[in-house]
């Protein structure tokens, strides 16, 4: 099921628009006005109620998490939802191969705490270890080509996960108070690929998340006791002071605030797309000009 914003004024008053053929019934489209209405209504609800709405409204729903506080709170909320049929939301974890050891330890503790939670781990393509990655791309690749590093370590694995798992909607741990580009975050967004992204705790503060974690005794990253608030790769994460934004320790001293997963297509991703389009055009031209293309033996 694909979800994309539509702005045609002739669409149905309900806010949904779909074709009439049987095949097209697999597609549902949000109009911009309906998406705005949904966000206005969901903003009035508690996160648990937002999650209930997701479970009853969205197909192929997964959670994506790097095991930050908000993602952990969402995991715990899902585990406590009162349903006749237990919610079946599985989790995608992107292992960049540069996570802190404390983060990887937390993953194991989460698995023990929530034994019914199935975690799907995706790593950079063709790499199982940090040594594999450095053999392929070189040491300190994040310094040599930061944008390409983000693509091969995070963006491509995420896209592969969504493709292989047939993901249509994801729950994320993003919040407005995390600063940077997240200040105007909606609860429900639709990216340029048609993927629905739901941010159940978008309107919560860091203190609210902390209070929930403490009240429900949710396992957390040991680095939080060392001044960290938002934890990513060890080479680009530092502790922060109480006066700084929650994500100020990510890529500290630089203008960067996102790794690329939640951005529009990176320049490197667009370059790859342009190269593929060029290759396809050259192939089409060759066929048009009557060149014979022989299959490899």
Residue 119: beta bridge partners? 91
Phi and psi angles of residue 2, each rounded to the nearest 5 degrees, phi first? -105, 140
Question: What whole-number distance in Å separates Cα of residue 21 and Cα of residue 76?
Answer: 41
Distances (CA, A) of 53 to 1, 13, 67, 105: 17, 21, 23, 32
Known active-site residue 127: no
Q: How far is CA 171 from the centre of its chain?
A: 7
Compute the 3-state secondary structure of the chain and give helix, strand, coil in percent, each to the nearest 5: 45, 10, 45
Q: Which two tokens stand for residue 57?
A: 């409204």
Closest CA to 56 of 69, 42, 75, 72: 42
Question: What whole-number distance in Å separates Cα of residue 291 and Cα of residue 55?
Answer: 53
CA dihedral 197, 67, 116, 57 (to 10 degrees): -10
Q: Which of 20, 54, 127, 259 is catalytic?
A: 259
Question: What whole-number distance in Å separates Cα of residue 292 and Cα of residue 61?
Answer: 45
Please classify residue 57 by burial: count the beta carbons closer than 10 Å to its beta carbon, then call 0-12 exposed, 13-18 middle and 19+ buried. middle
Closest CA to 232 of 99, 93, 65: 99
Show which residues are catalytic.
Answer: 259
């Amino acid at each position: 099921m694909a979800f994309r914003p539509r702005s045609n004024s002739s669409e149905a008053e309900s806010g949904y628009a779909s074709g009439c053929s049987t095949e097209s019934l697999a597609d549902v489209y949000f109009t911009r006005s309906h998406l705005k209405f949904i966000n206005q209504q969901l903003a009035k609800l508690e996160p648990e109620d937002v999650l209930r709405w997701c479970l009853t409204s969205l197909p192929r729903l997964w959670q994506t998490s790097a095991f930050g506080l908000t993602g952990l709170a969402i995991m715990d909320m899902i585990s406590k939802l009162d349903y006749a049929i237990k919610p079946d939301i599985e989790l995608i974890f992107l292992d960049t191969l540069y996570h802190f050891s404390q983060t990887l330890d937390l993953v194991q503790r989460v698995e023990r705490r929530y034994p019914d939670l199935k975690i799907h781990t995706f790593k950079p393509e063709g790499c199982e270890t940090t040594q594999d990655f450095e053999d392929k791309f070189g040491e300190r690749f994040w310094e040599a080509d930061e944008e390409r590093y983000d693509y091969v370590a995070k963006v491509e694995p995420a896209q592969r996960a969504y493709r292989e798992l047939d993901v249509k909607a994801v729950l994320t741990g993003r919040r407005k108070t995390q600063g940077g580009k997240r200040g105007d975050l909606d609860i429900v967004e639709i990216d340029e690929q048609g993927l629905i992204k739901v941010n159940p705790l978008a309107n919560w503060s860091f203190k609210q998340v902390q209070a929930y974690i403490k009240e429900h005794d949710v396992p957390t990253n040991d680095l939080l006791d060392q001044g960290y608030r938002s934890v990513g790769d060890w080479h680009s994460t530092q502790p922060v002071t109480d006066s700084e934004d929650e994500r100020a320790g990510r890529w500290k001293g630089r203008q960067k605030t996102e790794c690329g997963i939640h951005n529009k297509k990176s320049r490197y991703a667009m370059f790859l797309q342009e190269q593929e389009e060029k290759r396809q055009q050259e192939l089409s031209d060759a066929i048009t000009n009557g060149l014979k293309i022989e299959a490899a033996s």
